[in-house]
Amino acid sequence: MNLHNYLLGRWTPHEGAGIPQYDAVTGDVICTASSDGLDFAAIADYGRRTGGPALRRMTFQERGRMLKALALHLNEIKEKYYPLSYRTGATRSDSWIDIDGGIGTLFAYASLRRKLPDTPWYVDGEQAKLSQEGTFIGHHLMTAKPGIAIHINAFNFPIWGMLEKLSANLLAGVPAIVKPSEVTSFLAEAMVRDIIASGILPEGALQLVCGAGIGILDPVGSQDVVTFTGSAETGRLLKTYPTIIEHSVPFNMEADSLNAAILGEDGEPGTPEFDLYIKEVRREMTAKAGQKCTAIRRMIVPEHLTEAVQKALARELLKTAVGDPRAEGVRMGALVNREQAAEVKRRVEMLRQHSPIIIGDLVEFEVIGADKNKGAFLPPIVMLNAQPFLHRDSHEVEAFGPVCTLMPYRSIDEAIELANMGKGSLVSSIATYDENISREYVFGAAPYHGRILILNRDSAKESTGHGSPMPLLVHGGPGRAGGGEEMGGLRGIKHYLQRTAIQGHPTMITAVSGVYQQGGRQIEAAAHPFSKPFEALQIGETLTTAKHTVTEADIVNFANLSGDHFYAHTDVTALEGTPFTQRVAHGYWVLSKAAGLFVQAKKGPVLLNYGLEECRFTKPVYPGMTIGVRLTVKEKVAQEKREDEDYQKGIVKWLVDVYDETGETVAIATILTMVRMG
């Protein structure tokens, strides 16, 4: 069977012999893949001209709903991908990480729409006041790049690796060309067929190259983005590709690294932390047969606990049955193919020159439900580097399989130094119940690691573990790990957006950005804005309220009501040496009184107060001062209708400017209300 490439809006079989893809368990050929003869310039141009404009016309809210629809669709049919995943050597739990984890990332990014505007662009950060009178301001606008994202993915997670990248670029409004590994692209192709058939994505938003992709980077330009997941060596070569350098193309690299797990000095046998450490190392060695970029490669343990860790880990690993992922009782499957298994053996031979094997055997091991001479099987292998500062192979050579090296340390400073000798990693972890050890390790190791897990008895029940990147946290690391960041919530989306500083009068910046800027022209409301449905409200529409003169009774009554008897509000004899000259009104009384001034009491389109986004009290309010409010429509975000609701609604952000009799602002806040659509 020949895999098809999905390019230029159609599925196309490859020509020629192609690259064979093997069943990791039986060694049989599954299919062949090729990208020979493809016109990558035309492919990239098609994505930019067809998929790009369609995505950029959509708002962040629409793109988020698109991701949600895609996630729901794939979630309904996900079981069909498991039999294919078993052929990569993955067990059911391994496949769950790849398949359900990938779909879960789509759901997570779809939910991020709640933090984004109902526009195709994004206003980033706060207004910068650039002039004394406030007639000249600056802001930052983020817009989708009019290029294309090229994703070069690794063999170990054909689905998760694809979906976690697509989640970000599609939400940002940028189309993609996905090039999965030519070793396991049969699984990615199966899912892409279903994605395309669903019709959920606009045409041109996603294209697929199943082969080696030689030449795929030739047509990249300054508006494109390239992401890479794989070996550090290959990543460095691609990062220096001539067109990448010539056009300063953003290149996000997430490379395999020598991740470390540290057992704290308090992690004595019998403590929960010791047991958790052993469990975590076993899991990371055997999940995906150790073929994870986040897998633990180095165990760094207190010197006096080396033997105890070795014995405990040996007991756990002996329970790990290796074999066909479909066979009952199997807990670790095969490596992706025999070529990869041979490469891992070669790396082990390099490492064992200074680090003997203390657990496992490369030749003598049992396999359940399969022929180990046909499949790509290896047992868990643990090595011991007794002198890790002298013999540095363990910090430089990675065996990308179920292989880990145990090494001792004599102090937390040594543990930090050893962890950092990996020259940059995606993740490190420390098992400890000691807060001082945690603090010392984190601040000593943080510059060298993209993520740090602190594991102990309090977090263990809900911890996702050492090797699990999460959609809302960055996935990447410095140095050997590539220096990139994937996912990370909004951070991941911003890789595909151009940040541009815009300057001008607040009225003009309001018109351009769609977000009201303080100092801009206000549209005096003809009717109370709370009487208007969502779609009738205009950005900049303003209600100027009646005024109220503050009394001492207001302050005393609020203190009694709230229970806030802070001395500045209640004890005029205690004000010496403070910023206050007399009894001062509570800030929250000012905000509450502001609400009393601008709220319309009778029933209308406003359904509820949704929250408070920003609030500052900028000037003391004393008895005798008179305050009023300017309530301005700042931003509007439409929401989709839920099944259990009989109405459409949106979120309106209001700028609440409370000012005194001199016209000076005493409090400024952004409040949110849910407003019904007409």
What is the dihedral sign for C-alpha 206, 210, 342, 289?
positive
Helix, strand, coil % over all residues of the chain, rounded to 5: 35, 25, 40
Which residues are CB-neighbours of 578 under 8 A, at least 6 positions away?
Answer: 568
CA-closest candidate to residue 627, choices 654, 663, 668, 671: 663
Q: 206: helix, coil or strand?
A: strand
Which residues are CB-neighbours of 496 under 8 A, at least 6 positions away?
Answer: 144, 145, 149, 168, 169, 172, 173, 174, 225
CA–CA distance, 173 with 33 (Å, rounded to integer)? 29
CA–CA distance, 245 with 162 (Å, rounded to integer)? 25
In eight-state DSSP terms, residue 632 is E
Active site positions, annotated: 254, 293
In what side-by-side order are the strands of the sheet with 149-152? 10-13, 4-7, 206-208, 176-179, 149-152, 225-230, 251-255
The DSSP bridge partners found for residue 179 are: 152
φ/ψ (deg, to 5) at 67: -65, -40
CA–CA distance, 484 with 227 (Å, rounded to integer)? 9
Q: Which amino acid is at 110?
A: A
Residue 330 in tokens: 């199997």
CA–CA distance, 120 with 451 (Å, rounded to integer)? 31
- Apex CA 504: angle with CA 501 and CA 506, to 5°? 110
Helix (H) or strand (E) holding 541: strand 541-544
CB atoms within 10 A of CB 134: 15
Residue 417 in tokens: 């130094």
CA–CA distance, 282 with 5 (Å, rounded to integer)? 38
* Torsion from C-alpha of 162, 163, 168, 172, nearest 10 degrees: 90
CA–CA distance, 49 with 47 (Å, rounded to integer)? 6
Give how far the C-alpha of residue 348 lies from the chain's centroid of Cα atoms, to the nearest Å. Answer: 33
In what side-by-side order are the strands of the sheet with 296-302? 357-359, 381-384, 403-409, 296-302, 259-263, 428-431, 452-455
The residue length of the chain stands at 678
How many CA atoms are closer than 13 Å to the CA of 241, on its beta-carbon side? Answer: 20
- Apex CA 182: angle with CA 160 and CA 468, to 5°? 25
CA–CA distance, 90 with 87 (Å, rounded to integer)? 7
Residue 528 in tokens: 């109370």
State the SS3 of 318-382. Answer: HCCCEECCCCCCCCECCCCCHHHHHHHHHHHHHHCCCCCEEECCCCCCCCECCCCCCCCCCCCEE
